[in-house]
């Protein structure tokens, strides 16, 4: 639960520093994590999600905020776009460093070799391999077409 501990410590620091914007974003992150845990509960059993799921949640939150910021900019609401981008910065503090284009290409090649992929039918296995190793480090929406091109 290393990720959850980092989030908790950051939340406490933001409270002490009276940093309202950061505190608000950290609370949103915790709420999203708790929502996922509640959704995963089965028959009264308490479920605690791991770091991989937390990284997935954070990645989704970043993507949502980037899309919102783009929409606000197109609508001329720059102050709202800036707020969304500020939230992105706070969330990204907890995500691992994003892979460069060369590192992403190397990771795709390694995953294809590891699963022995030879055709487009193996794409699911390649993507699963990438997701297990690189969650939070690459944009899988952009990686999918790259894998498809390699296998196609």
Q: What is the pLDDT of residues 136-152, one digit of tens each?
A: 788 888 888 988 888 87
User: Residue with structure tokens 């795709």?
Assistant: 108
Give the distance, in angstroms, between the CA of residue 69 and the centroid of all CA atoms in the same chain.
Answer: 17
Let me know if 126 is exposed, middle or buried by CB neighbors in 10 A (0-12, 13-18, 19+): buried
CATH topology of domain 101-151: Arc Repressor Mutant, subunit A (1.10.10)
The CATH code for residues 2-92 is 1.10.1510.10
Q: What is the mean pLDDT of residues 56-68?
A: 91
133 versus 14: the higher-pLDDT residue is 14
Q: What is the mean pLDDT of residues 55-83?
A: 93
Give the pLDDT confidence score for residue 43 in this predicted structure: 66
Q: Cα–Cα distance between 96 and 81 in angstroms, integer?
A: 24
Domain with CATH 1.10.1510.10 in the chain: 2-92
* Residues 51 and 2 sit within 8 Å (Cβ to Cβ): yes
Per DSSP, helices labelled H in the chain are 2-17, 20-40, 51-74, 78-92, 101-115, 123-134, 140-151
Domain with CATH 1.10.10.410 in the chain: 101-151
């Amino acid at each position: 639960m290393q990720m959850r501990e980092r989030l908790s410590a950051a939340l406490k620091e933001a409270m002490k520093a009276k940093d309202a914007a950061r505190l608000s974003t950290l609370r949103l992150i915790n709420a999203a994590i708790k929502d996922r845990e509640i959704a995963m509960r089965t028959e009264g059993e308490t479920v605690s999600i791991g770091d991989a799921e937390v990284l997935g949640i954070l990645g989704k939150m970043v993507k949502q905020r980037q899309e919102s910021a783009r929409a606000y900019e197109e609508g001329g609401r720059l102050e709202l776009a800036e707020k969304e981008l500020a939230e992105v910065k706070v969330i990204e503090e907890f995500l691992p460093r994003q892979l460069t284009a060369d590192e992403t290409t190397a990771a795709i090649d390694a995953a294809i070799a590891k699963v022995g992929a030879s055709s487009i039918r193996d794409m699911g296995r390649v993507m699963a391999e990438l997701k297990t190793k690189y969650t939070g480090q690459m944009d899988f929406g952009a990686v999918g077409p790259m894998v498809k091109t390699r296998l196609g």
